[in-house]
Amino acid sequence: MIPIEFFLAFAAILFAIGAYGVMTKNNTIIVLMCVELMLNAANINFVAFSAFTGDAMGQVFVIMTITVAAAEVAVGIAILLNAYKLKKATEVDGLASMRW
């Protein structure tokens, strides 16, 4: 059986890649995808812990997280489309009229 540390390290790396993408990418759609990576890192944690302790609550949490992530992306993409229609920009740099 694979030790739990491997799963945790994998999830942590996935989370770090997502966080790196969120901070460096200019395209808002890629940023949203990176947020998804971060959410899935947490899902892997949940499933790993759930499998190792034999407790079902972790898996319930994963289903809920996936649902929430789907809803968030649906609303997020709609908002990006709206921004593109009104401001002709999907880049982070093009959405900086308000500062401070």
Partner 1 sequence: MNIDPTIISNIFGDFTPIAPMIIMILGALIMPAIYLSSKRRNLVTGAMLAVIIISIIINFVLLVGEYTGTYAELFTYDAFSGLMILLFQTVVFLVALVSAASTETTRLYYGAYSSLLLAATTGMMFVATAGDLLTIFLGVELVSISSYALVAMKRNDPRAAEAAVKYVIIGGISTALTIYGISMLYGVTGTTNIADIATVLSTDGFSWAFGIAMITIIAGYGFKIAAVPFHMWAPDVYEGAATPVSLFLATGSKKMGLVVFFKIFLVLFVAGSAVASFATVEMQYVFAIIAAITMTVGNVVAIAQPNIKRMLAYSSIAQAGYILIVMAVMSEYALTGGLFHMFTHVFMKGGAFLIVGALISVGIGEKISDYRGLAKRAPFVAFAMLLFLFSLAGIPPLAGFTSKFILFSSAIYGDGGVMTQWIWLAFIAILNSAISLYYYARVVKAMYIEKGETTDKIKIPNAFAVAIAICVVFVIILGIYPQLILDFCSNAAAALFA
- The footprint of partner 1 (CB under 8 A) covers 8, 11, 15, 18, 22, 28, 31-32, 35, 38-39, 41-43, 45-46, 48-49, 53, 55, 57-58, 60-61, 64-65, 68, 71-72, 75-76, 78-80, 82-83, 85-87, 95-98, 100
Closest distance of CB 23 from partner 1, Å: 9
Closest distance of CB 44 from partner 1, Å: 8
Nearer to partner 1, 6 or 95 (CB): 95
3-state secondary structure 13-36: HHHHHHHHHHHHCCEHHHHHHHHH
Report phi then psi at 37, rounded to 5: -60, -45
Q: Is-contact 60 37, C-beta < 8 A?
A: no
Nearer to partner 1, 6 or 64 (CB): 64
Type and span of the H or E element at 87: helix 57-87
Question: What is the rounded distance in angstroms from the CA atom of residue 17 to the CA atom of residue 12?
Answer: 9
Closest distance of CB 2 from partner 1, Å: 16
Task: Give the residue among 63, 59, 62 at the shortest CA–CA distance from 43.
Answer: 62
Closest distance of CB 97 from partner 1, Å: 6
